[in-house]
Structures are given as structure tokens and as C-alpha cells.
Structure 1
């Protein structure tokens, strides 16, 4: 069965927000990475102001729930709207489940990133459903995740 978490998007203050959340919930970040740590996309160098922005951070806030987030940047930042800056993130148990959920929920919606293998080792995609809700579908293939550890 898939797990569901909230994914928050920030306009440059993700690190500050997650440090605050950590001060309230406690715990540690299992992962925090910046856009500057990503491999270059399409041979383009990131602008310096985007390199220190958070590409992904996660913070366990209960036995079942992970609070996740990132900053927005580049062409994505024009779509940022405070108050609507979250997605529902589903972590599937298999690639087949990821495909089923992605294809079903994105019907009549707008795919913003098709499901595909990523440089960080996951099978991942994003879309806005027909009701305007933002979703992320992820499958962490254990074999691929070991290669990226």
C-alpha cells in the first residue's frame, strides 16, 4: 500500500521553514540537498542565486508521516503562489503501482513531469489533476537506491 505525505514548495526560504519545523517537531533531516548538487540539465549551468536553494528536504514528523519540501526556481518560480504551494506526494510500493496511480489520477489533468527514472535513483513524476490539485508520484527502486547511496 502506498504512503501519502504533504510536499511543500517555497520561494527561496525552504531551509528556514524546515529549520523551524525541525525546532517544533524535533528529529533530523534524513536528506537535505541543494540545486547546486544536481548534475547540469541540458548542459545549462544554474544561476548562482539558485544553487543554494533546496532541491529536496525531508523531516519525519510521526511514525507514518514525512514532511517534505523544496524551493522553486527558474521557469517553475513564475507558477509559485503562496497558500497553494503544496502537493500530495505518493510513495508507491512498486513501479506498476506508481504507473497505475499516476495514469489514473492524471486523467484529464496536466502532466508537468512525466513518470521517468531520475538521476537520484527514483521513478518519479508530477501532475495537476483535473480538479487543480498538485500530485507527485514516486517509487524508490531498492536496487537503484543502493547505487546512489
Structure 2
């Protein structure tokens, strides 16, 4: 399965609301950086709390993933990725 993964520079929540309207769809799951604190970290930076760590939405029978990219600088044109999910390593595409 191939899943499009679209990243944003802090405006993922706004984009999700727009996509809900345009595509008459609903966010199936969403987790903010505030909800995720890695082991050994006591709190997230305040400016990231509302940013989206991961969200999913079904658009035209295709599941899309979304997130705010925290790596800087965010390069326009590098904000769409394709994620390949396979059931075993044997099924994974080989690099040649």
C-alpha cells in the first residue's frame, strides 16, 4: 500500500479543516505534539504544543497522512512523501 504523507510548517490543523470542507471528509485520527512527550523529555516547547504530530484522513477512498514538520528549515517542494507499507521485508521494493 502506498500512502501520501503531506507535511506542513506549523499550519497542518488549518489545512485539515480546509480539506474537510473541500473534500467533504473528516479527520479520522489526530495527535498533537502536546499529546506526545518522548521518554526523558519533561515537556514540549510551547510553540509546538498545537502542532500536529500525525493525522489521518480518507479522501476519495485514499488514506492520507498529515503532520507539521519540526525540522528546519522546511523546504517547499519537499513536503509530500510517499510511504510504502508492506507485510514483510520480502515484499519491500529493492534499491538497485
1:67 to 64, 79, 90: 64
Deviations 1:116-140 (A, max 9, x none): xxxxxxxxxxxxxxxxxxxxxxxxx
More helix by share: 1
Deviations 1:4-52 (A, max 9, x none): 1210110000011111111111121110110110133443531010111
Shift of 1:90: 1.8
Normalised TM-score (structure 2): 0.84
Counterparts in 2 of 1:50 and 1:41: CA distance versus 1, 3 Å: farther
Normalised TM-score (structure 1): 0.57
Q: Which has the higher contact order (CA 8 A, sep 6+)?
A: 2
Q: How many residues align?
A: 96
1:86 aligns with 2:87: no
Runs of 4+ in 1 over 3 A off after TM superposition: none
- Unaligned residue ranges in structure 1 (runs of 5+): 108-149
Report the RMSD for the aligned CA atoms in angstroms: 2.1
- Unaligned residue ranges in structure 2 (runs of 5+): none
